[in-house]
């Protein structure tokens, strides 16, 4: 029996990773450490939380003594670190929480692992889950490779870049067995409706405006969340210590083209006339320092670990819309008072 710590497991990607690991690896005890910020929702895990190999611990990665006691208590064999502040717009209005959780919180976990594994590092692994945003913004051509220089442009991406550097520094300095992956934008079930796709689904369902920043010409490379979870599984088990793997679906869309595709799907699913949802598109003030384009070259993980995405985007979007429409209670529960206040600040002042 191995004991594996997964941080941020009540969030969007973390919940898919936890579900995959709990179901696929009955000989792992999975400990989900999450402080339950606005983005953490235990409802995401209600289908597996009764499983004997799953345990939830509420706690803050910013609390160093608590993290040290957790490592001492559970003697983890591996760590998959996903806990983070993850939304660029929030990082623009409140950078400090990103510095604390994404940088200091990561170092607390690195220290816990280092202290606990120093006499017996064999078979241990600290896996840091990161983002392609650390590479900055591309022009109209080119792709992010693992060798691309870091050039983060937002407080969010700068905090993730810092944490990536610190993870590598612990590998170089203390020989901590680490692996890192940098993934493109994820979409799918259970994503908090402050990110583009679930926000648009929620607003279309409720006949509210769909806010498009600037001209909608920014490009993102979208990957279905379960395909990210399958890549995380592979990197955790087969990746080489000290290595970085880029994960992405070669699936670039301008924001406006993506929203038009989503509008078409929503009109069909809701039985509305074609063109109904598109009328809700509303151009709003651009995000400060808005990165133009992200695009991942995932050749390394495909070649070395045999990973490939399983879904085409049109299929993934349809699955995603079906999930949100079938789980309207989830969406309504999440769109709580606190979220509405944030929503007002973020959008109604634009």
Q: In sequence order, what are the residues at sequence separation of 6 or more whose Cβ sits closer than 8 angstroms to the Cβ of residue 260?
A: 278, 281
* Contact status: 84 vs ligand NAD (CB under 6 A): yes
User: In the beta sheet, which residues pair with residue 133?
Assistant: none
**Which residue is nearest to ligand NAD, using beta carbons?**
11
Closer by beta carbon to ligand TYD, 199 or else 201: 199
Instruction: Name the residue nearer to ligand TYD (CB basis): 15 or 191.
Output: 191
Residue among 15 and 265 whose Cβ is closer to ligand NAD: 15
Count the neighbouring beta carbons within 10 Å of the beta carbon of residue 307. 21
Backbone angles phi, psi at 55, to 5 degrees: -140, 135
Q: Interaction with ligand NAD in 99-158: which residues (CB under 6 A)?
A: 101, 105, 129, 131
Q: Would you count residue 30 as binding ligand NAD (CB under 6 A)?
A: no
Nearest distance in Å: CB 70, ligand TYD:
29
Using the CB atoms, write b or e for 152-166: b if 16+ within 10 Å: bbbbbbbbbbbbbeb
Q: Looking only at residues 167 through 196 of this chain, which bind ligand NAD when binding is defined by CB under 6 A?
A: 183, 185-186, 192
Long-range contacts of 305-308 (CB under 8 A, 24+ apart): 305/234, 305/235, 305/238, 305/239, 305/245, 306/234, 307/230, 307/231, 307/234, 307/247
| Minimum separation from the CB atom of position 96 to ligand NAD (A) | 12
Q: Return the half-sphere exposure (C-beta side, CA atoms, 13 A cut-off) of residue 46.
A: 6
Three-class DSSP category at 213: strand
Do 263 and 249 touch, CB atoms closer than 8 A? no
Choosing among ligand TYD, ligand NAD, none, which partner's interface includes residue 60 (Cβ < 5 to 8 Å by kind)?
A: ligand NAD
The rounded distance, in Å, linking the Cα atoms of 6 and 14 is 8
- Compute how many residues bind ligand NAD; rule: CB under 6 A: 30
Nearer to ligand NAD, 36 or 284 (CB): 36
Stretch that binds ligand TYD, among 55-63, 68-76, 213-221, 266-274 (CB under 6 A): 213-221
Residues 77-116 that bind ligand TYD (CB under 6 A): 88
Mind telling me the catalytic residues? 132-133, 156
Q: In this structure, what token pair is assigned to residue 241?
A: 């210590």
Q: Name the minimum Å distance from CB 282 to ligand TYD.
A: 10
Residues 6+ apart with CB under 8 A from 61: 7, 33, 35, 67, 83, 101, 105, 106, 108, 109
Q: Is residue 255 a contact residue for ligand TYD (CB under 6 A)? A: yes
Binding-site ranges for ligand TYD (CB under 6 A):
88, 185, 195-196, 199, 211-213, 218, 220, 255, 287
Binding-site ranges for ligand NAD (CB under 6 A):
7-8, 10-14, 34-37, 39-40, 60-62, 82-86, 101, 105, 129, 131, 160, 183, 185-186, 192
């Amino acid at each position: 029996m191995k004991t594996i710590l997964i941080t941020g497991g009540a969030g969007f990607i973390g919940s898919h990773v936890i579900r995959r690991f709990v179901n696929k690896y009955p000989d792992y005890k999975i400990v989900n450490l999450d402080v339950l910020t606005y983005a953490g929702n235990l409802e995401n895990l209600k289908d597996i939380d009764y499983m004997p190999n799953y345990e939830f611990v509420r706690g803050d990665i910013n609390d160093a003594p608590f993290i040290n006691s957790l490592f001492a208590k559970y003697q983890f064999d591996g760590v998959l670190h996903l806990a983070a502040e993850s939304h660029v717009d929030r990082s623009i209005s409140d950078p400090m929480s990103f510095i604390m959780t994404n940088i200091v919180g990561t170092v607390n976990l690195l220290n816990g692992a280092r202290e606990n594994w120093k006499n017996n590092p064999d078979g241990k692994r600290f896996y840091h889950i990161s983002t392609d945003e650390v590479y900055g913004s591309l022009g109209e051509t080119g792709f992010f490779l693992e060798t691309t220089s870091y050039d983060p442009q937002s407080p969010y991406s700068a905090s993730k870049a810092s944490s990536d550097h610190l993870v590598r520094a612990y590998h170089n300095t203390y020989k901590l067995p680490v692996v890192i992956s940098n993934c493109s934008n994820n979409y799918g079930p259970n994503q908090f409706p402050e990110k583009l796709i679930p926000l648009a689904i929620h607003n279309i369902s409720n006949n509210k405006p769909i806010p498009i920043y600037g001209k909608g010409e920014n490009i993102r490379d979208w990957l279905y969340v379960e395909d990210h979870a399958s890549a995380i599984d592979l990197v955790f088990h087969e990746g080489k210590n000290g290595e970085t793997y880029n994960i992405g679906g070669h699936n670039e869309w301008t924001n406006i083209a993506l929203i038009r595709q989503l509008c078409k799907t929503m009109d069909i699913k809701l039985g509305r006339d074609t063109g109904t949802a598109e009328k809700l598109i509303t151009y709003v003030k651009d995000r400060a320092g808005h990165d133009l384009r992200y695009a991942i070259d995932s050749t390394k993980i495909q070649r070395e670990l045999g990973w490939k995405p399983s879904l085409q985007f049109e299929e993934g979007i349809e699955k995603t819309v079906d999930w949100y429409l079938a789980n309207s209670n989830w969406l309504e529960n999440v769109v709580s008072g606190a979220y509405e206040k944030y929503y007002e600040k973020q959008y109604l002042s634009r």
